[in-house]
Structure 1
Amino acid sequence: MSAPPLDRPAVTAPPAPPEPPAVPATAADPAPVRPRRPPATPGRRRLLRTATAVSLLGFLLVGFAVFLLAFAGLQEQHFQSTSYKSFALDLGNAVAPTGSAPDGAPVAVIDIPAIGLHSTVVVEGTTGRDLMRGPGHRRDTALPGQQGVSVLYGRTVTFGAPFGAITSLRTGDKIYATTGQGRFSYTVDAFGDGSHPITDTAASRLVLVTGNSSWIPTGTTTVGARLDGTAAPNPGGRPAVVAQDKALASDDYGLAPLQLWSLALLGAVLLVTLGSRLWHRQAAYLAGAPVVLALLWSVYENAAALLPNLY
């Protein structure tokens, strides 16, 4: 006999999960409202303006100090390099000046081995702007090597400080000068300062003048040297000394150019600021930065001309 079939339970689908309750439609949540800053009071606005002005002034003063102590020397080196080539060409063509020359023109080359000063070009004039280029020849004195007293000024701190180490010279050290009349040798024999000038009576000698401090000179230091051998003829006809030629004098003629360059700098800054708002900010800064830096250099250069010429 066959076994009776087993009864199988009927397969039924699981019950569907209950539907979530309908959420009534609501409006989108509003964005959070940021609290507004209270309007600045007049006192606060004045404080912000004062702080901005002081910060800007501090930035300009620090930049000026960096220019004097770092970048001014590079400017002096550049002029020395170009003027040395020019003066060497004049010597080769026998057209180097032996009498009066235009302000800032090369008139001699000096070497002082004892302090490491080599092939340094001397320019005509001793104003602050002249001495940015190197040592300067006082216009009312003889040229080096000529009959009479030749006076050379040189800076102590800034623009390469060519005479910053002349106080370390000693009696017997040599100074060599090359002009359109030949090469001449001097021997150091005297020292002085603003209160005690050199009293050497030699007919032909050289006097080096610089500041009395390597930080902020308040007086002068002088080194005297006698000419070795025969002096060259002195054509004379030298101009009278002017106020800007004196030691520690300021070049007042640099005030007007300083004002003009400062206005140009201010205009450039305003244009860059306006361009950053109306144009692409980074593009405006990249386009305006070289112009602003060039104008700032000119402002610093003309401001340096107002400093005492031996600084």
Structure 2
Amino acid sequence: MVASLIAMLLLSLLVIGNLTYHARQQQLDDRFRAELAAGTAPVSEGDFEDVLLADGDPVALIEIPEIGLRDVVVEGTSGSVLMDGPGHRRDTVLPGQVGVSVLMGRALAYGGPFGGLSQLTPGDRFSVTTGQGEHVYEVMGTRYAGDPAPANPRSGESRLILTTARGGPLAPVGVQYVDATLVGDAQPRGARQTTFVTLPPQDTPLATDTRTVWALIFALQFLVVAEIGAIWALRRFGWRKTWIAFIPVLLLASLLTATQVAVLLPNLI
């Protein structure tokens, strides 16, 4: 059971997760392009009807040619949200607006959209498209947790911080930041309800999300019951019939469990 769970966890993070990531990105891209065309793409923490954006709603499109990245950015930065794409931290302004905006993305699992951030060098340019248009940013540099941060942005300036994990595969040892400044004029800030104080703890860098532990408990129970059933069937009917009947069930139970375990892992891996 342990072996199947570990194997399914790796498969979920690196294979199945990549497939679902790209499928979800296609859906988000279609939705965000439709909102841009209709002029309803969000420019604040609420939608065009002032309804608070849900976690996972598309808010921007980021394109970084140097690392081959073109992904839709979603609202929220918890582990489950970052399974769908890079996330925008709720307590910061949207890219292109006056102030500091923070985008967070995984380094390896579920598409690993920010896995190539270390390749960026000062002077590299990339674009972020929001409901206020296309914004071009220029990389200032890369830093790690504990390094001195750049000086605070000047009045009317827009700064963007790209955030991901650093370290070995699936074993982060810290956080990597890429600072960038807007080339051109910044847009007005949109209204935001979330502040640094009220930001949920699961939305911070390398945080885990324990809100769905109950789902993991049920998934583990399902896996244990399936294992017991397979052992009983093996003794009663032999391995051929047991294989046909229980392998799909065991794979499903292992996948459900692995997905819930993945949510408990640091959100930037």
What is the TM-score when the length of structure 2 is the normalising length? 0.86
SS of the residue aligned with 2:212? Answer: helix
Work out whether 1:242 is the aligned partner of 2:200. yes
What is the count of residue pairs matched by the alignment?
255
Name the counterpart of 1:25.
none
2:131 counterpart residue number: 180
Q: In the alignment, residue 221 of structure 1 is paired with which amino acid?
A: Q
Could you tell me how far apart the structure 2 residues matched to 1:84 and 1:287 are? Answer: 39
3-state SS of paired residue (1:114)? helix
Change in CA separation of 1:86 and 1:195 when aligned onto 2, cut-off 3 Å: same
Which residue, out of 200, 221, 224, partners 1:266?
A: 224
Structure 1 unaligned spans of 5+? 1-55
TM-score, normalised relative to structure 1: 0.75
Deviation at residue 160 of structure 1 after TM alignment: 1.3
Alignment CA distance shift 1:108-1:275 (3 Å): same
Please give the secondary structure, in 2, of the residue aligned with 1:64.
helix
Q: What corresponds to 1:5 in structure 2? A: none
1:225 to 167, 180, 185: 180
Give 1:103's aligned residue.
Answer: 55
The answer on 1:62 being equivalent to 2:17 is no
Give how far 1:176 is off: 0.7
Structure scoring higher RCO (CA < 8 A, sep ≥ 6) equals 2
After superposition, residues 19-168 of structure 1 pair within 5 angstroms as 56-100=1-45, 101-118=53-70, 120-168=71-119
CA contact (8 A) 2:9 2:255 kept: no
Equivalent residue letter for 1:262: L
1:219 is paired with a residue whose SS is strand
Displacement, 1:239?
Answer: 0.8
State how far apart, in whole Å, the 1-side matches of 2:25 and 2:100 are. 25
1:212 corresponds to 2:166: yes
**One-letter amino acid of the counterpart of residue 59, structure 1:** S
RMSD of the alignment, in Å? 2.1
Q: Deviations over 1:55-74 (max 9, x none)?
A: x3233223322332332222
Distance 1:276 1:303 in 2: 28
Q: Give unpaired runs (5+ residues) of structure 2.
A: 46-52
| 1:303 and 2:261 are equivalent in the alignment | yes
State percent identity of aligned pairs. 37
Using the TM superposition, give the Cα deviation of residue 197 of structure 1 relative to its aligned residue in structure 2, in angstroms: 4.3
